[in-house]
Amino acid sequence: MKILQLTKKFPFPLKDGEVIAITSLAKAFKALGCEISLLSMNTTRHFFDSKQLPDTFNHYHSTDLVTVDNRIKVVDAFLNLFSNQSYHISRFISKEFEDKLIAILQHNEFDIIQLETLYLAPYVDTIRRYSKAKIVMRSHNVEHEIWKRIAENTATSAKKMYLQLLTKRLENFELQYLNKYDMMVAITQRDLNFFKKLGCSIPAHVSPIGLNTADYLPSEPTVDKTTFSFIGSLDWMPNMEGLRWVLEKVWPKVLKKAPHAEFHIAGKNAPDYLLNGQWDQVFVHGEVPDAAAFINQHDVMLVPLFSGSGMRVKILEGMALGRVVLSTQLGLEGIHAKHQENVLIADTVADFSQQILSCIEHPQIIKLLSKKAVQFVQQHYDNVVIAQDLLVFYQQLLAENGPFDIAPTSIS
């Protein structure tokens, strides 16, 4: 099966959930005998120097990269207020990217063209003109829902009104394109149910994010001194919303009973709020060169999310590395782990702080959950098994064109 993957950011280095989700599936497709090609934007916001690409990044049959200026510009944002277009989407509309897409489609035939996130939807009509391939939207989350939650949690009235306007336009765009694809692939059942409620009537499938679990080497928790961590993009509003909640409400309660507890924060684009804040026993590391090494240095990973949809890949990575994950219920969307069996779950200040204190006071909890977390990810989130299930669904979509062979896996 020949698959073209379109992405709004180059899927390397593997430092955020979207990139890991894209790369993990692409590698699994290759392992299953597919010929997979990549056309990616190289945006100003997430620019990657292709000269730094390692030789091990060799799972694509062909790779094309197009520079796209997607900076948020004050003048453009202001003028957008007088249009009906979604400013979220318009920043990813590029003539250069479209021209490259047309050239690829004119010289190649594909069975599936997989759009990674809603931001590639503006190119559906172009694909229809130049290709007979089936178009699949792989939705990493419900985009407008994330922004709706952010707007609801914004206190400043002027900013709230602006975010509500942008969110409404993003919602209109998402609804407009909902049935323009040939197939919808959602990361979670909850997201798929949401799309169906909105009117999605095309063939649809749930395909969670998987990991190549062999790449993750779990280490035994030391628990000599239990430390806590957070890792994620620090310019993503849901992450900062959750961190504020921990720093301002949860952490002070923890320090009253455990004054020597440590909370370590890593991630790119740390705002002044974090860098200049006077936080007791909080250590802001900024962007770290090796996310797995950072995760492994600390026993418990905190995931305090109250906005967002889709799956948090960092939770799977933390569990695969044998770390204990303490998350809100929303943070665990799409990951069917259970409280005190594979993970810890808390949604209130009192419960979240109490779970942190329990990890400090009862280190045996950490050792027990560590082993169960590794087993859980290995059993339920292997990327090749998940990709094979998705390819079977693609075969059904392509049935009118004849069957396609899927190479057998070595999974036992």
Q: How far is 61 from 35, CA to CA, in rounded Å?
A: 6
User: How many CB atoms are closer than 10 A to CB 155?
Assistant: 6
Q: How far is 324 from 344, CA to CA, in rounded Å?
A: 8
CB 143 within 8 A of CB 121: no
Q: What is the pLDDT of residue 44?
A: 86
Q: Please work out, in degrees rounded to the nearest 5, the angle formed at the alpha carbon of residue 54 by the alpha carbons of 53 and 58.
A: 95
Name the 3-class secondary structure at 100.
helix
Q: What is the pLDDT of residue 409?
A: 37
Sheet with 112-116, strands from edge to edge, namely 62-68, 35-43, 2-7, 112-116, 134-139, 183-186, 204-206
Sorted by sequence, the CB contacts under 8 Å of residue 184 that are 6+ apart come out as 136, 137, 139, 178, 192, 195, 200, 202, 203, 204, 205
CB 207 within 8 A of CB 242: no
Among 359, 282, 266, CA closest to 314: 266
Structure tokens at 203: 């063939």
Residue spans per domain, the chain? 2-210+382-401, 214-380
Among 220, 300, 224, 312, CA closest to 264: 300
Domain 214-380 sits in which CATH superfamily? Glycogen Phosphorylase B; (3.40.50.2000)
Q: How far is 40 from 63, CA to CA, in rounded Å?
A: 8
**E strand or H helix at 347:** none
Per-residue HEC secondary structure of 114-181 comes to EEECHHHHHHHHHHHHHCCCEEEEEECCCHHHHHHHHHHCCCCHHHHHHHHHHHHHHHHHHHHCCCCC
Q: Please work out, in degrees rounded to the nearest 5, the angle formed at the alpha carbon of residue 119 by the alpha carbons of 113 and 120.
A: 25
Structure tokens at 231: 């890792």
Domains 2-210+382-401 and 214-380 share a fold: yes
| Dihedrals phi, psi of 406, to nearest 5 degrees | -110, 125
What is the topology classification, in CATH, of domain 2-210+382-401? Rossmann fold (3.40.50)
User: How many CB atoms are closer than 10 A to CB 5?
Assistant: 26
Q: pLDDT 10s per residue in the chain (412 long)?
A: 999 999 999 999 887 888 999 999 999 999 999 999 999 999 988 888 888 888 889 999 999 999 999 888 877 877 787 888 888 899 999 999 999 999 999 999 999 999 999 999 999 999 999 999 999 999 988 887 777 877 776 777 888 888 888 889 988 999 999 999 999 999 988 899 999 999 999 999 999 999 998 888 887 766 678 899 999 988 888 899 899 999 999 999 999 999 999 999 999 889 889 988 889 999 999 999 888 899 999 999 999 998 766 789 999 999 999 999 999 998 998 899 999 999 999 999 999 999 999 999 988 889 899 999 999 999 999 999 999 999 999 999 898 654 444 443 333 2
Q: What is the pLDDT of residue 209?
A: 94
AA letter at 278? Q
Among 320, 307, 175, 152, CA closest to 241: 307
Q: How far is 182 from 180, CA to CA, in rounded Å?
A: 7
Q: Note the residue count of the chain.
A: 412
Q: How far is 295 from 325, CA to CA, in rounded Å?
A: 11
